[in-house]
Structure 1
């Protein structure tokens, strides 16, 4: 909406009564919960503003300014009027925090970065997000990370949109054009899903009283993805671990249910109720797993540099080699409880940060937001005096780690970087445009390359409308290529003789080209990987029930991503410590030789971690749980 710079009139201080009215409307519209100050603070005599006052100040800070604005949108340059509300969160520079258009108050990205969870969050691939930053709407097939989608993402609702590279940082504000919450499948769907209203990079984001450029988005805002999990929860997790740590008078052991584990002798209990895992118990289990893994390295690899720990250590290797093999998981109930998302810190990154604060290790955040372990304090008494406990499997943890390292040493897919390219093969009707650009119809092109060819043709034929540069005059070649006279809408476009440039480019990609894909590795040229017709296939992970009540995890589609199934199976067998088999994928021809791996138990997280180590992104993986009962 704000491609063009809006005409903002003189700013004026917002009266207290008007500010309350605006914020109360926001609270009502977005159904924001009002939390009253803690009773302890009141009883201690602290003068605390009421919950509604605190909420008002957080949504629209005191001292906010307002002004009327006008702008034009669309090919018809429709005039839109509204109000902007300007303020600053904390020490930030004053920016536009809210917009009021057509009796609707909309947050800007600055407000979304400071107030996570205000509206439903949707996701789309970054290549689509780049188009949305130019003002394009989000089409239904562009939705990812669902279904299910947020329940509040219904028609007319305001939503935030983030890319997959930074899934916790919304950069587009839009409005649902359909009921996204009820969608069961987006593949093959058509039509608009979200209309773009405002985005990071537009003129609203760029506005400031000092003519300074817009503020860059944060690297991550975990509260958007963890239902409010933030620094407060990290501090709470630290408190849990501090409560579990031994005092100086103790002998240095780790108080993690040693008695219970001794009783079990490495086997699940046949009698009595299953163990009830509370959050503090799960925190303790994860922390002791790390201590156990380093203790094991100290005992078995004394003479090796860094005791055989391959530093720097990324989050995936940290979990697969130094946490999961040492968890006290004796039953399916234990396996279900002992998951990182059920700890008080919710994810691996915050767990590592806590260990860093305890000075057990040293970690640093690299470009892209990933936390990497640079060093471990092997002389810390928590490692040296650790008391081992029985593990659920007979196989020693040291053997599991060593074998995983051996697998890694000859698996070339580990550490690879992958690119999944969508290519276009022009049809015969596109040949005249290719001729103008001296391009061959036998080649495959990326979407930007097709757009460049079209641009060259428009300039060569002088088809850009003189009155409106965003319109293109239709000549016979373009008309034959993209328009169908029998279609009433196309017939109307032919009658007018012009078409918006963005619509023209989208039509050409849709009607004049066939989709192909190529998956390349390690920055190899795209010609090195043979392109295939259609859309790139995803790796499939399926959880299903077998032999009554036993669950199994199936994995297929590895070959498309330069992963050797035999080596992948070997690693999973050690990391998951479970029975693993491999065979020809059902429905696959012997000529294609596509393999399917089956693991005993629910192993989705371990499989995804192993895939991430091989450069596979989460949105390239389809997960199906067939164990859930149908309603």
Structure 2
């Protein structure tokens, strides 16, 4: 809904009575439990009243502002209007917390991160979340970790949607279009399950008065994965048991409890000798042998996932695109022991010639179902794990060393493991700290606290300096402590008439203190520093860069069409985050099962070159996960899709 920037009118403070009434309306609409007195004595009643007030403040902080907005919605771009409620919890920046339109209140992700379980929580796979964060709706087959689903997830109910990789941090807000609680099977189901209203990284998420970028989702939000009794529910138990590998969608490995690998190794079935082992001569394989090796490698892959994971999908996330299918279910299980065998076992040397025809051949064998998509791509929708060829499959010996695909599978080794290069950036912690350097016109502000007007400050550092000035000049309103009176300095240097809001504030001679802070921050020059903590050394002092002017850097991921209809993914801007381009290229070559290259970015200085990594195929999701392993959050990544002529 908020894929395009809405038109938000100037904010106005929300009266206390209106705030309480709106909070109570939210509590009623969402059927939240209101604290009741445990007895009739005054102390119990006072405690219940205090708890009720705390619930209101958690939903709508006492600094909440409101404003009308207009935007377009739906395929016919119907114009709608509503109200946004903007506030800040302790320690947070001012953000849109609630959206009201068509007489209904919708929480934003910022509210969900602060208020667990106020709406039912659903889950979906990472590849689906990527689609939802472009405005797509959640279809029934995309539901994960169920059935059963939450009892309150009924048609017309506001729900939250989280990524299975971060199950306690909602990233999408929507409305159920069906009774999700009654869904008994998602495999093969059709139809719309949740209509998307708002998501992390949309324009409501990104909005702020000072123009600061939106805040990324936390890794974990305590309280979401709890059942009605207050105990950790089955879903939370499941997340503790599962270890989700950062791989291409479809390559999710579910590691069971400690010691299971040892048991599997001891119970390893007798291996079949295909005649391709180390004891045979190093020779080129015939086309028939290559075809047979690819078919058996696929059966081995399905058998492996079925043996090590739970039904119904056994750790695979459908649909699987061609590159994921090949790199996850086929290449790790090819019996390539010698250089010539490795050279022979390539899909282009088989009778299938390409992955699409290979998938179609397996579909004729009725082992899987596939579907053609736009752009000449075929995806795997489902696999028959109970097919006789899978059930009766006998594992064979595999090489332990790295194969041509960059993956090895041996006894007791997970097929989905990718060998990370010796890259010091993997596992590091990266923080980007926004700094503000006051301009010369703001110098009188710092005299009250004897602060340096030319130093670098964070937003948190500037707040006490601003409050000290307001108190020293006696500018805090006697009638409303949250408001500040204007003196000649604030009227000339801060509220200078450039904003439509300024004229009203100058006429009243009064402004909300939060607005004063926001305007002073906007009047400073933006700077940033990048702090990097090495992997495995959380207590080590971070390596902090020098302050640099401007907005924080971003890694740019560009999807381009090359050689007719082939897509390539380019990555640049890695150096600012301490990432070695060649090391990243080596990992992407294995994970994406495609060729990679590293070259100097066109236009960059030869003395301080910016390197660009290129990988075959539309691999933005895989690149994003590789960057996250190196501490680069999604909010520091910009994806430009030139294949569709639009910017995500």
TM-score for both structures, normalised by structure 1: 0.48
TM-score for both structures, normalised by structure 2: 0.47
> Structure 1 or 2: larger helix share?
1
